[in-house]
Structure 1
């Protein structure tokens, strides 16, 4: 069937068989007996070389802990074109490096007017890259198709807009397949509200992945575990009673609760130390 498909494509388009996939658009594919590894080792080296950081001192984590970057108007301006080029290259590196997602998301907010503090934070990411050049995503060869989701929020995380940040990670068979870090569109009045908005966004992504797998003839019958470290959020999802704290997020409440009742989602409380989605909402240490 594969050969017939290739022959048919060749009659319509001019194609060339390059053999087994090893390198594509900067992503290296390494096959082992237990699975496939996706990495961007060469692309990472090119970034370090382009910005003169091949000999830099490595760092064990990408962003200084408890760092809250704002416009830094009192700091000196830097070369905006150079900063944008660096951030742009780091954005593509996220294809196989979810551990960089939070730092790059923060840095990309200041491409219009970058300052010295922003550039220093970007160089810190390069130092972390130097110590983790071969890191990537491992997709196991054998395993069950169990879809798992983690979601988290950083309440009032943005220092100048006071908007909260949503972060989630979806894994299939133990391999990360979808992740995101993004500022929420409105200011949340409580941590429970911020966490619940994050949960609603994560549920939307889980539903899309479940529908996509169904198109691939992979039918997931069990509810997808959704791990959240906020007790109030889990209680709201399972409790049909409204009160003052949930009136302004009524739509999200109905949306999540409907999916819980249809057994597509199963909210589960997880300890904060085991919350994988923390990687996308705050700067973590080693």
Structure 2
């Protein structure tokens, strides 16, 4: 690439001292990152001075003005479908010209395929999916002839260590899990099932492999499911939290789950086994809500860097006891055993950052 040298790093900085220790490929990546960062910051006219406290001063003036311009025109329904595309298209053209001055590159038009993701850009919406990647998985693991199924996992499925079960190829099992985890980047519906099967990669048995193959059979039934992103969506943040009480048959720990929407757009989701054993569904839901609260606070701060200021972010929980615990700052005898870090949500509910 033209114009990439490690000499662009500031002398005496910690990064400049560590760069000679990296491989040549890693040094090129670091130089590319530094050069792009300096180029974007210089194009932004030294940042925006009127950002609110806590905002990132490194945001360029052009980026912030574009966001504010879009927000102002979105308030008028007559301008929403006319001005917004024009502003975005002009910004993309300017950014492409700026990059072309520094790097040898060519414009290939709208994005349609990237690292296994297929992008279909329609007039009023954009659809992201991984149909080709899904079909390649069936060919790779020789499951083209398997019958499709309607669900990724049965409701009465119980997975444990299965010490008396028949062992299977560990490399094959891990390869399946890794491929499915990459597919979870656009498939919320298989997140819980894949993460559950991923817990047995150390010593997989035939029962575990059968559960993974069921997920692949479900994907054969629904290869085209993906994410819809309609135009004109708002920047209102919303979160949902839930938990699977004592779902782990090995350690009897619960699983926290959450999904986060920006307007009508699903932008993030998670499924993770909790670090401690919960003694009740209320405690499991309370811990899950705390994890979702941390993610919402992170997303709220990220949006603030782009000029979007949100006051109270709604977090929906389907357990009334967990909601009462989060809204009550008093430490009761029945909750004193809960670790301090799980009371993170109480502070933000009291401050008004989160509306539970």
Structure-2-length-normalised TM-score: 0.72
> Which residue in the other structure is 2:326 paired with?
237
Which of the numbers 184, 208, 229 marks the counterpart of 1:139?
229
Which of the numbers 246, 250, 256 marks the counterpart of 2:345?
256
- Unmatched tracts of structure 1, length 5 or more: 268-286
The answer to whether the 8 A contact 1:36-1:140 is kept is yes
Query: In the superposition, relative to structure 1, how do residues 71 and 108 fare at CA in structure 2: closer, same or farther (>3 Å)?
Result: same
Larger of the two Rg values belongs to structure: 2
1:76 aligns to 2:166 (yes or no): yes
Q: Kindly state the Cα deviation for residue 144 of structure 1 after the two structures are TM-superposed.
A: 1.9
Greater share of strand residues, 1 or 2?
1
Higher relative contact order (CA 8 A, sep 6+): 1
CA RMSD of aligned residues (A): 1.5
When structure 1 is superposed on structure 2, of 89-98 and 79-88 the one drifting more is 79-88
String of CA shifts for 1:171-215, please: whole Å, max 9, x gaps. Answer: 111221111111111112222221111111100000011111111
String of CA shifts for 1:229-278, please: whole Å, max 9, x gaps. Answer: 111111111122221121122624642122112222111xxxxxxxxxxx
The answer to whether the 8 A contact 1:169-1:178 is kept is yes
> Which residue in the other structure is 2:112 paired with?
22
Q: How does 1:120-269 map to 2 (within 5 A)?
A: 120-221=210-311, 223-249=312-338, 251-252=340-341, 254-267=343-356
Query: In the superposition, relative to structure 1, how do residues 209 and 77 fare at CA in structure 2: closer, same or farther (>3 Å)?
Result: same
Structure 1 residue runs of 4+, over 2 Å off?
1-16, 248-255
String of CA shifts for 1:101-139, please: whole Å, max 9, x gaps. Answer: 011101111112111111111110011001101000111
The answer to whether the 8 A contact 1:195-1:233 is kept is yes
The answer to whether the 8 A contact 1:197-1:252 is kept is no
String of CA shifts for 1:67-94, please: whole Å, max 9, x gaps. Answer: 1201112111111111111111101000
Which of the numbers 111, 125, 129 marks the counterpart of 1:39?
129
Q: Kindly state the Cα deviation for residue 140 of structure 1 after the two structures are TM-superposed.
A: 1.3
Q: Matches of 1:6 and 1:163 in 2, distance apart?
A: 50
> Which residue in the other structure is 1:59 paired with?
149
Matched residue count: 266
SS at match of 2:139: helix
> Which residue in the other structure is 1:12 paired with?
102
- Unmatched tracts of structure 2, length 5 or more: 1-90
Q: Matches of 2:350 and 2:230 in 1, distance apart?
A: 32
Q: Matches of 2:159 and 2:145 in 1, distance apart?
A: 26
SS at match of 1:218: coil
